Amino acid sequence: MTHQPTVALLGIGTMGAGMARNIAAAGLPLRVWNRTREKADALADVATVAGTVKEAVSGADVVVTMLYDADSVAATMEEARGHLADDAVWLQQSTVGVAGTERLAELAADLGVAMVDAPVLGTRKPAEDGALVVLASGPEHTRDRVAPVLDAIGSKTLWIGEVGAGSRLKLAANAWVFTVVEGVAESLALTRELGLDPALFLETIKGGALDAPYVQVKGGAMLEGSFDPAFALGGALKDAELILEAAGGVGLDLGLLPGIRAHFARAVEAGHGDQDMAATWLEH
């Protein structure tokens, strides 16, 4: 592709808004659509706001989906049926799990569109900074076509293999993220219940081999009660369930994730689903 591709971004949530601004900043013509239009309207200064999926995708070279789950992605792309350009590439970046990706790959074949499976590592701030890590998988001939978009939204793109490989690696990465978050919450809770200031746990490991920037960020948010969502707890619970489903599908018995999933569910049931996943701490 010798020209700048026209991009249609479907889904303007926590991640999509930052991604959209970086795509536009890279000079790519951009159309945005969201089922709740107000979120898309906030991008009217950098993009064309489409009232329908049809308007967004018609003539677009790259169609990006950044939606909640496989059902919402499938429903949205069904609305695009008959309106996708003949040579369009569908850049599917939602976290939908193994079975969800297989389902969407079948839909792509039915729609007659090449699909790249490319979920991302990172939350709201990396999305705003164009610093996401993209886990891409798909046909070789699509790489150059989607490169301008991936370069705009991310600091690194890993091409892993055929469609589905990116989503599988994303589940493994999220399993680690959730392990860290829940581990920090439990260590803070244990410190507190043993009669000590929980901040002492973070101070003890700070700067050492057991520390990590993410540990201090999430632990600090827990102690400060700062739960503005970078990665909402409800979405984390959804992804934890996708991880367990994938593990069960290959006969892998995970020791930690069932407990993490249970703690996330308890916090969601307590009304914290729209807060950051660090809000799991509130139910410890």
What is the set of active-site residues? 170
Rounded (10°) CA dihedral 222, 226, 231, 233: 60
Instruction: Check residue 175 and report its DSSP letter.
Output: H
Helices 257-267, 233-249: crossing angle, 10 deg rounding:
150
Q: Please, are residues 16 and 66 in contact by the beta-carbon 8 Å criterion? A: yes
The DSSP line for 201-224 is HHHHHTTSTT--HHHHHHHHHHHH
Q: Please, are residues 165 and 155 in contact by the beta-carbon 8 Å criterion? A: no
Contact partners, residue 255, CB within 8 Å, separation at least 6: none
Q: Cα(102)–Cα(275) distance, rounded to whole angstroms?
A: 30
Segment holding 63, helix H or strand E = strand 62-65
236: Cα within 13 Å, side-chain hemisphere: 35
Alpha-carbon radius of gyration of the chain: 20
Q: Please, are residues 191 and 198 in contact by the beta-carbon 8 Å criterion? A: yes
Token duo for residue 72: 């919402």
